[in-house]
Each structure stands twice: as structure tokens, then as C-alpha cells.
Amino acid sequence: MKFRPLHDRVVIRRAEGDIKSKGGIIIPDNAKEQPQEGTVLAVGPGSRDESGKLIALDVKAGETVFFGKWSGAPIKIDGEDLLIMKETDIMGIVEAT
């Protein structure tokens, strides 16, 4: 299925969490801390200002971003668990050095 978000929404694949603690203990799925980092898969066209002019989003597909702990709504597309959120829920873009 192909999915295109509307307005200023972004689809994100959450990064994989650690399966072991620093001490080597395996962490069960229900006790794992959900990562607040992910990769942008798709972005909407943007929002409109009061005059109706389209304001493009700052994030682009393929970028790695940080977002709030409770940000986004979980969705499932083609059996994959993803998040959909507004661009304002994204706190920053990770830039490669």
C-alpha cells in the first residue's frame, strides 16, 4: 500500500530500541523504553497560512528526527508499525557530520 500524509503530517519509522541493558541483561519487549528517534518515511505537502499560501515542511523523507515521548499516533501500514504526527511534534533533525 502506498500512503501519503495530508497537510503538515509526517510518517515516521521509530528506531529500534536496545534489547540488552548496559550490564548485559536482556530487556523484555513490555519493559523496553520506546526510542524518541526515527526516520521520516513520507511527508505531507504542508499547511496553509491565513491567506491560503502553502507553507512547505522543513523535514524531508529519509531524514532522522527526534520527537517527544508521547508524540504521534501509532498506525500500521503493510504490517509495519509506524507513527504519524504533525511536523510541530518533531523537535529536531539529526544532521550527519
Question: What was the pLDDT predicted at 64?
Answer: 93
Is residue 38 included in any domain, yes or no?
A: yes
Query: What's the CATH code of the domain at 72?
Result: 2.30.33.40
For residue 8, CA distances in Å to 61, 71, 75, 79, 89 come to: 13, 14, 17, 24, 10
Instruction: For residue 76, give its domain range.
Output: 9-94
Residues 6+ apart with CB under 8 A from 77: 1, 3, 11
pLDDT of residue 95: 85
Span 18-26, mean pLDDT?
60
- The helix/strand/coil state of 50 is coil
Q: What is the mean pLDDT of the segment spanning 15-36?
A: 63
Q: What integer pLDDT is reported at residue 14 of this predicted model?
A: 87
> pLDDT at position 28, please?
61
Predicted TM-score (pTM) of the model is 0.76
Closest CA to 31 of 21, 41, 40: 21
